[in-house]
Amino acid sequence: MDRPEPSAVRRADPHFDEEAARYESPVPSRAYVLHTLAAQGVPVSFERLSELLEIEPFESEAFARRLSAMQREGDLMQNRRGAYLIPDKAGLIAGRVEGHPDGYGFLIPDDGRDDLFLGPREMQQVLHRDRALARVTGFDRRGRPEGKIVEVLERANRRVVGRVFDERGVLFVIPEDRRLNQDILIAPGARRKPRAGEVVVVELVEQPTKVSQPMGRVVETLGAYLDPGMEIEIALRKFELPFEFSGAAKREAARLPEAVRPSDLAGREDLRALPLMTIDGETARDFDDAVWCERAGGGFRLIVAIADVGHYVKTGGALDREARERGNSVYFPRRVIPMLPEKLSNGLCSLNPRVDRLVMACDMSIGAHGAVQRYRFYPAVIKSHARLTYSEVAEALYTPESGAARRLAEMLPRLRDLDAVYRALARARARRGAIDFDTVETVMEFDDQGKISRILPYERNDAHRIIEECMLAANVCASEVLRRCEHPVLYRVHEGPTPEKLAKLREFLKEFGLHLGGGEQPHASDYARLLEKLAGRPDKQLLQTVMLRSLQQAVYSPENVGHFGLAYEAYTHFTSPIRRYPDLVIHRAIKAVLAGGRHAPGDWSQIGLQCSTTERRADEATREVESWLKCHFMKDRVGEQFEGSVSAVAPFGIFVALDEVYVEGLVHVSELGADYFHFQETRHELVGERTGMRFRIADRVRVQVVRVDLESKKIDFMLAGGEVAERFARRRAARPRGMRRT
């Protein structure tokens, strides 16, 4: 059927050409719909709006779908007569609901204005993450806006994981995510009646309303709450982590070869004779990178060979779609949720020893002072000569008479060259002014039942730093080769402190007679110089923690604003394509550049946002699992006393990290002593009104474990007997003679 030519009214749409390029039968753009409605000044019916925009009968269905989409996103709403209006004109605010475990919540507006407080009554009709329209109804005593929900735009929760409870024969599920602060009634009629105490997944068949609770049916029974590994099963579903590969991805993986084929070697440089090696942790199973180094002239030749995942995972294929959705592998204690199926992650793409593997090589010439003078990328084939661990490499390099040194005698010359290039790169890093915060990582050891037996500090040695500096150098070269060719890049960006955080940091540092240089736009080198001044100070941990918290979170973005912490003008991720999707995208882009073309994965901004989101999701899920495991570890230690340091200060109390067991808990403000304590945000401290007692980050305290709550994953402490009196005595002793309180 011939389509009529668009009318002058339709061609007046400022986005007409864009819509016409995207759709065979374009309808008016969102902006044009809103402009037309605003021009009318009153709510408009569907029929009248269609008339104003000259919608043809064959376009009516598509136009209705566009209006529905605009409603879901809060751009439009319908009144009781079905007429369309612009929410802003009606004083309505669209946003996302954020629930709180105590029953209230907030509407986070889409336009960035102040959050609206939603009381428990308003939260009865919505759940955490729903989208809604709300109206400001007043202000609380602190001047914060309070809201009333007018319409629920979109329901975010389809399936919920939680524990079954039975109250007088009525079965309901309490969600594991306490921000979903409504019990979910279990719909009657199920084939198998769930038992109280079981962890289940329910599918919501009825969403909450003003007068009724949500209702769901059980679609999966996971088992008892304290079953080994249950904490991970819950986290997978709570954070909606994909943990089963689709049938299409499995079939695509099954079609891949078991080993590298001769045909795969076409166009590749053969590096199999070079003794490249992998250096990883003892428990690692997926080996992304292999390294090799030798002295060349006055400097070094360093090759960083990275698994060529893109050779097997094709853009737009089932495996690619799965990897993009996951964004990254997720590393739980004792379990990994891989980004790619095991056939790839532990097989074809893992640089296992003594087998042929396809790689993308970054071949660098590095000067004696650590500057990368030349580099080139090329596809290659390698055969890793050894799978080494950080601990044995460190022992072989720095303890010459050790067993490791004897075992690795044949490889020691190359290891010493790697150590030498690391030293040169580290000196360049120091000159560049990169920030190097001292942090303590921990590792959990488990018993046969899958619970923590002990928690130990994880010491990073110079073997870790060797690999770290090699990877940093390759990542910088990856960003440079794409930037030089003016190809889009998914940068790893890390911005410096916001003006607000910078002002608070400077005010805090004044209390200690310290100054952060750099004016209104400090550089990483300014932070690094200040960190050098903290060496040997008893309050170093406090000062370093506050400095670290002033920085923003690193994200992925096609907009290059540099990497503040590493002091790089441009930086990207290239070295871990088995476990990070951004690295795979960069591999494809470099391959395209080498072939004289360009890689077009879609919207680079959207990919960056997706990968940043999945990274945060993985971090939240792993933190939650670790918190549950630590609670389970401490539940039999209620009543015991421990030494620790204040790790954070909040208006409601202090968090204390224990020395011996590396577990954190809360001392509520009511347990700090018979006084009114006031939170000084800029000083990161709580101060007693009468006694003048202060609690701030890094303070040493002795606490007693008083409560462990597995459900909320919280540990409560109280100051141990005599601690308050001792602190008060120290406070009095520190007061100058003749000084009295007024």
| Domain extent listing, the chain | 8-87, 91-154, 159-225, 247-489+573-619, 635-734
Q: Report the 3 state secondary structure along 404-419.
A: HHHHCCCCHHHHHHHH
Over residues 12-32, the pLDDT tens digits come to 888 888 887 777 778 899 889
Q: What is the architecture of the domain spanning 635-734?
A: Beta Barrel (2.40)
Q: Which of 91-105, 412-426, 449-463 has the highest mean pLDDT?
A: 412-426
Whether 742 shows a pLDDT value over 80: the answer reads: no
Question: With 50 as the cut, is the pLDDT of residue 737 above it?
Answer: no
Supply the pLDDT for residue 76: 86
pLDDT number for residue 686: 95
The pLDDT score that the predictor gives to residue 43 is: 83
Strands in 586-627 per DSSP E: none
Consecutive H or E run containing 590: helix 581-594
- 4-18, 365-379, 685-699, 717-731: range with lowest mean pLDDT: 717-731
Whose structure tokens read 């709510």? 43
Lowest mean pLDDT of 259-268, 364-373, 695-704, name the range.
695-704
Q: Average pLDDT, stretch 54-80? A: 86
Q: What is the pLDDT of residue 157?
A: 95
Triad 460, 465, 467: Cα angle to 5°: 120
Q: What percent of the chain has pLDDT over 90?
A: 69
CA angle, residues 127, 131, 136, in degrees to nearest 5: 95
DSSP state of 671: G
Q: What's the pLDDT at 78?
A: 83
CA distances from 500 to 504, 520, 531, 551 (A): 6, 11, 21, 11
d(CA 162, CA 201): 7
b/e map 433-463, b = 16+ CB within 10 Å: ebbbeeeeeeebeeeeebebeebeeeeeebb
In words, the CATH class of domain 8-87 is mainly alpha
User: Helix/strand/coil (H, E, C) string of 79-96?
Assistant: CCCCCEECHHHHCEEEEE
139-153, 250-264, 371-385, 475-489: lowest mean pLDDT where? 139-153
Residue 446 makes CB contacts below 8 A (sequence gap 6+) with: 333, 334, 452, 453
Range 673-702 average pLDDT: 90
- Take residue 171 and report the two structure tokens written for it: 């079965």
Is pLDDT above 80 for 115?
yes
DSSP annotation of 2 reads P
**Residue 728, pLDDT score:** 59
What value does the mean pLDDT take over residues 600-609?
94
Do the first three CATH levels of 8-87 and 635-734 match, i.e. the same topology?
Answer: no
> Considering the domain 159-225 in this protein, what is its CATH number?
2.40.50.700
CA distance 414 to 302: 10
Question: pLDDT exceeding 70 applies to what percent of the chain?
Answer: 96
Confidence tier at 113 by pLDDT (50, 70, 90): confident
State the pLDDT confidence band at 4, using cuts at 50, 70 and 90.
Answer: low
**DSSP letter string, 12-33:** T-TTHHHHHHH-SS----HHHH
pLDDT at 735 over 60: no
pLDDT at 450 over 80: no
The pLDDT mean for the chain works out to 91
Distances (CA, A) of 489 to 315, 326, 606: 16, 20, 13
The mean per-residue pLDDT over the stretch 456-483 comes to 95
The answer for residues whose C-beta is within 8 angstroms of residue 670's C-beta and 6 or more apart is 653
Q: Which pLDDT score is estimated for 315?
A: 96
Q: What are the beta bridge partners of residue 656?
A: 646, 665
Residue 729: what pLDDT?
Answer: 59
172-189, pLDDT tens digit by residue?
999 999 999 999 999 987
555: pLDDT strictly greater than 70 = yes
pTM: 0.85
Mean pLDDT of 43-56: 90
φ, ψ (nearest 5 deg) of residue 160: -135, 135
Question: Please, what CATH class does the domain formed by 91-154 belong to?
Answer: mainly beta
Q: State the Cα–Cα distance between residues 67 and 259, nearest whole angstrom.
A: 52
Closest CA to 454 of 175, 663, 601: 663
The predicted pLDDT at position 733 comes to: 58
Q: For residue 430, give every residue at least 6 positions away whose Cβ sits within 8 Å of its Cβ, in sequence order, or none.
A: 528
CA atoms of 579 and 82, how far apart (whole Å): 49
401-444 pLDDT, tens digit each: 999 999 999 999 999 999 999 999 999 999 999 988 877 788 99
Is residue 683 predicted with pLDDT exceeding 90? no
Is the model more confident about 90 or about 622? Answer: 622
- Res. 723: pLDDT tops 80: no
**Which pLDDT belongs to residue 38?**
84
Euclidean distance between CA atoms 132 and 122, whole angstroms: 11
Model pLDDT, residue 511: 83
Q: How far apart are CA 385 and CA 615, in angstroms?
A: 33
Q: pLDDT tens for residues 222-273? A: 999 999 899 999 999 999 999 999 999 999 999 999 999 999 999 999 999 9
Ranges 253-257, 532-536, 708-712, 729-733: which has the least confidence: 729-733
